[in-house]
Structures are given as C-alpha cells and as structure tokens.
Amino acid sequence: MKKFRIFLSLKKEEEWINSIQEEGYKLVSVNSAVPMYTFEKLSTKEMFIPYVRLDFREKSMKKTNYEDYVTLFSDSGWKLIKGSRSGGAQYFQQKRPDVSRGIFSDKDSQESAKRRYVKYGYSYGFLFLLYFFIFFSSNSWNLDKILNFKSWYFTQGLWEMEGMWFWKAFIFETPFVLLRVLPLFFFLFLGIYYLIRSLINDDSKFKRK
C-alpha cells in the first residue's frame, strides 16, 4: 500500500505513520523526494505492531560515524527504514515489542530540525530574491507582467492566433515558459515552506511522555 502525504511537522508525520501501522500495516520504505510512504500488511505470524520514531540530523556525517549512529540505534532495538548520512529525517522502526519508545536524541533531534529548516528557508528565500531581481532588472519585465500569465509567452501575436496554429505555438513555447517562470514561484514556495516547518517543529515538539 502506497500513500502520498506532505507534512509540516515531524511529530505529525511520526504520529500519522504510527496510526497507519496501528491498522495492521508496517512501514517498509519512504521516498522523501515525492514524498511517498510504502506500507505492507502485517502477516498473522507477526505478533506485535512496530512503532516508528523519527530522528533528525542537521549535519552530514562521515561514513564511519553514520554507521556507528545506525548501529547504536540497532543495538537499542531500532531498525533503520530510511535515512542518509547527509542529514535530514531518519526513520527508525521497533524490532521487538520490549523496546522502549523513547530514544536518546529527542532533544537534539528537535533542535537540529529547527536549525536545518531555518537554513533551508533562508537559502531558498535568497534564491527567490535573486531570481526576482533578475526579472526586474530586465527591461521587458515588471511586476504586472510576472503576475500576468499571457505575458510569460514571447511568441508575437500568440493570443490572436486561432485553431491549430495557436495550439502548435502554445505547446511549443510552454516548456520554455516553465523554465523561465517556475523557479521564481518554486523558490518562494520552498522558502515559506521550510520557515513554517522550523516554527512548527519548535517548542519541544519531540518531547514524549
């Protein structure tokens, strides 16, 4: 079973994954780029519902340090489902029912997530401003044109064309339009997205009872 879901809060993401598992499924993989979660139905031989915890690493780690990190979790009863030594969210799943649901790095994980998301937010915000400046530094662009869909197309007389001639010209130029304009909105969206995530994941979101 595959599910697509976007989260602003690591805590909410963790709670959602465990709510799916409580229905008799087990998380087997995570595609962070999409993002897509893959679950498998628990077999009758599996007697307990595993719990998933998310740990967050702000900085990249050397290969040996990351292996030690994963081994430490494994020795504590947690199996790595998805993670990378380059940092970000690390997905761990209980290997046995007697494993404590608390993990040793709750506080560090919360603080790391906030710092990394703030850094991402500022980076994409800078790229947005840079791209925005490039638009305005051009004599052919101003704010009205950026917000006007038709002005994104440079083909002369395009909007006066009719029938097949219009569609041929429109379809031909659209990929170039997307390459010119989409980065502006993409950087803006990601900048806002990560700054919101830094705020939502603040104030002890990873504390457990």
Among candidate residues 69, 104, 139, the one where a domain is terminated = 104
Same domain membership, residue 196 and residue 169? yes
Same domain membership, residue 7 and residue 95? yes
25 within a domain of the structure (yes/no): yes
Residue 150: pLDDT above 50? yes
Residue 202: what are its φ and ψ, rounded to 5°?
-85, -175
Q: Would the pTM of this model clear 0.75, i.e. be above it?
A: no
Give me 95's structure tokens: 């290997």
Q: What is the pLDDT of residue 101?
A: 78
206 within a domain of the structure (yes/no): no
E-state strands within the chain: 2-4, 25-31, 36-41, 52-57, 78-82, 88-94
- CA dist 51 and 100 (Å) reads 10
Q: What is the pLDDT of residue 9?
A: 80
Same domain membership, residue 118 and residue 93? no
- CA dist 196 and 6 (Å) reads 13
List the domain range (segments joined by +) for residue 97: 2-104
Among candidate residues 80, 104, 128, the one where a domain is terminated = 104
Residue 147: what are its φ and ψ, rounded to 5°?
-85, -5
